Amino acid sequence: MRVLLVDTEPERAARLRLGLEESGFSVVAVSSDAARLTELVRASQADIIVCDMDDPSRDSLESMRALHRDEPRPVVLFAGRAAPELMADALQAGVAAYVTEGLDPARVRPVLEMANMQFKAFHALREQLAQARATLAERETVDQAKRRMMREMRLTEPEAHKRLQRMAMERGAKMVDVARSVLAKI
């Protein structure tokens, strides 16, 4: 895995880089500027981001939030304290793992692998949710068209449904597309 390492302390960053490389990771970039995360990820093509900060600032968390929105990648945050409000902010910013007990080189690989798995699972759920919402919206569009046809053409629900199906088959179109055209015309 290609790692972008962000640490405000150069000595600690060097130790962390060594630990990551000894664990089999490729550190593709090191920075002390968490405010440029999205830019750094684009430039380095990192697969995962490791941030080591004693006390993550609002700017750092906002940068993580922008990264999560624009260039989604798993983020592992090694923080100096376990404040519940900070952990909640980190979660909202898209942090996949929040670690406070310091960095043990033996724990690096499992922490990063778990964060990567957690990130993938979360994004799979988001995609499923988006698909479910799209399907629901399509069904609602079809139902609106059927209701309009029932009202304006004095059809029953099964008749309106059959008519939409037939129109879709005749046009070689999806039923939702026919429903949209019905709603636009009537």
pLDDT per residue as tens digits for the range 4-41: 999 988 888 898 899 899 989 999 999 988 888 889 99
Res 102: pLDDT: 67
**CATH number of the structural domain spanning residue 23:** 3.40.50.2300
What pTM was computed for the model?
Answer: 0.74
Last residue of a domain, which of 59, 86, 103? 103
Question: 95 with 153, same domain?
Answer: no
Question: 80 with 144, same domain?
Answer: no
Using alpha carbons only, what angle is made at residue 22 by residues 35 and 64, rounded to the nearest 5 degrees?
15
The 10 Å Cβ neighbour count of residue 143 is: 14
Q: Residue 23 sits in which domain range?
A: 2-103
C-alpha distances in Å from residue 136, one per residue of 139, 162, 176 = 5, 20, 11
Question: 99 with 8, same domain?
Answer: yes
Instruction: Indicate the number of domains in the chain.
Output: 2
Question: 97 with 18, same domain?
Answer: yes
Q: Fill in the DSSP letter of residue 81.
A: -
pLDDT per residue as tens digits for the range 108-165: 888 899 999 999 999 999 999 999 999 999 999 999 999 999 999 999 999 999 999 9
Res 33: pLDDT: 86
- Range picked from 74-78, 101-105, 128-132 for highest mean pLDDT: 128-132
Res 186: pLDDT: 57
